[in-house]
Structure 1
């Protein structure tokens, strides 16, 4: 994994003080300053600041702009040919020969969302080593990504390049290798959720695609994609009635039924991720394929909603009796998360009873 302590900016990446011909910004610092001036009082306000002070966020974003990597200023910096990830409004591309990736919006209208995500993720990662660190904010233009308009420069979040996500891991490895890393995955991701809870943040979209692995000698696990993160109001334990952006098959029953997001719904989603390592299937995938003769569609599926609301995730996902015999301790531990719905602190303590 790339170091969180990024090197000083080299002379070739130094921030320019004047725009290039035609008034086009020639550095990420200038692009950010132009956007902040344009937005004025509508500057992104991160929930990280208790007072919602936009100046706090402006200072943070300015400190990250072009730090160690500036695609606008460095003509030699290039993106990979194909995205390594994508979301509903963004792409993730590798920055060639740097060991880093950059997440940026498909169009300018989502720029504020990306800058807000950068501020939130950077702040959370300062106190949690299992959150993907934000190394810099760099802008991207049509010169780097031809899908943008000629006049567009959009902000991107620069992060270390991880090896793969949890879904790709269980697809690429046999059950022996999955078993070897299962308890470590549980320990590190639960520790991450405990840190988020301490900081009063709900992630809001925990799934196997948003848990990343990096390998040195042993795998380590990192939570990614904070585009749906929300700050829980002081004195509260949940957010009610908010727009739900979570992936449906990873939702807790109360999220679909009552539009509730909480520390406990994040934990429930994580439990389904750990269950997916055992079944080697995304939640409810095997059952839905059997019910629909091999066809599969998650989008707005009433069947899936009904399955989640039955509140029986282990039995509806572990369809093979052999898995109950092969993974007895792991499934007993997951019942604490998915059935008894213990809080994250109790689940962390319980690990020692099952895994020594």
Structure 2
């Protein structure tokens, strides 16, 4: 009797050890970013794990370049002060996303590293054990919406990241990189929407890929006294990254070269480059925050010539408190 009980005990222990081993194997598969045996869900590969091979008939692997981020977009009708207050970035952390061709809702690991909001760069990080992903097949492609709660100085805080793939299913490659070339060639786009607070004081801001490739437009402007600015403007996906209507394009100020007197400065930090757009992108403004200030000038507000007015553009010189110290007319050339 004791021997039988001992054998049963040993058998139970063997079964338990086998289950634990299988569980560990499943966890390893889950971390590697392939099919999770427990949920049959495709997830974001864990940092450092090898990227899996993908069957393009079942999914697409979208690799995320190191340092990739989403930058804040503009809204029609907002002032430059409002746009500056809402400047920010969504930093992507995972090496890749696996986008299955299967509709439904699933829990997936976080792939956002952090959100930085406002000129003070308030920091928010994803909370909880993962994000919720909803996959939806559309008429011409797929749409993947990831929602996650955020921990940070303002509550409640939530982020939605949307990845859209446009095109016929047979045209999708097994693997692409999330950058401008893929966006243009395969119709892949990524955008985000941040919500902070609630009720009448709720803050809502949208974001699009920071890396936009070659500029859509280059502007050169100068004053009679010889001060100069050269601006590079990129274009992102319409409607998804900005609050814009009709034929208004989602534009981003991506680079500025400034000469004030004998001092020169090149600005590429997107927290210091603010595009302020109107309907149809008419009468646009560009805010450039200098680092360090050039003398008493801490920022420049560049205004394009008013449409149909025959008047020149202008530049307003702002001090450290962002108050106007002087205004000069600008000659204006769009390349």
TM-score by length of 2: 0.29
Structure possessing the higher radius of gyration over alpha carbons? 2
TM-score by length of 1: 0.28
Higher helix share: 1
